[in-house]
Amino acid sequence: EDKVVQSPLSLVVHEGDTVTLNCSYEVTNFRSLLWYKQEKKAPTFLFMLTSSGIEKKSGRLSSILDKKELFSILNITATQTGDSAVYLCAVGFNNNDMRFGAGTRLTVKP
């Protein structure tokens, strides 16, 4: 069965902390792994990863994929209250199918 598992399900930190969010997957014919941030409504795109070991970085956020161990991590350094959101991992596979994880709810306290 194709599945995407995120951990932890929720996380509470204080401003300035660094967090690591995890996403593991088991799918047929893996194509890509994406990270999204969901605040109130629609998910907004963060990263797309297709190759192992290549870190993608955007400001305080970075992500890397391990296709051998079938997981990805999303790091956020120097967290701010505006980082509070649900972070979604999604995996594209087969022709054009997609599976989302349940998300990690991050709360950053002042």
Partner 1 sequence: EPEVTQTPSHQVTQMGQEVILRCVPISNHLYFYWYRQILGQKVEFLVSFYNNEISEKSEIFDDQFSVERPDGSNFTLKIRSTKLEDSAMYFCASSLTPFAGGRDEQFFGPGTRLTVL
**CB burial of residue 65 (10 Å; 0-12, 13-18, 19+):** buried
- Minimum gap (Å) between residue 42 Cβ and partner 1: 4
Nearer Cβ to partner 1 (17/31): 31
Q: Are 33 and 46 in contact (CB under 8 A)?
A: no
Taking the C-alpha atoms of residue 9 and residue 27, their distance in angstroms, rounded to an integer, is 21
Nearest to 16 by CA among 80, 61, 59: 80
Nearer Cβ to partner 1 (9/78): 9
- Minimum gap (Å) between residue 4 Cβ and partner 1: 9
- Minimum gap (Å) between residue 93 Cβ and partner 1: 6
The footprint of partner 1 (CB under 8 A) covers: 31-32, 34, 38, 41-45, 48, 50, 88, 90, 92-103
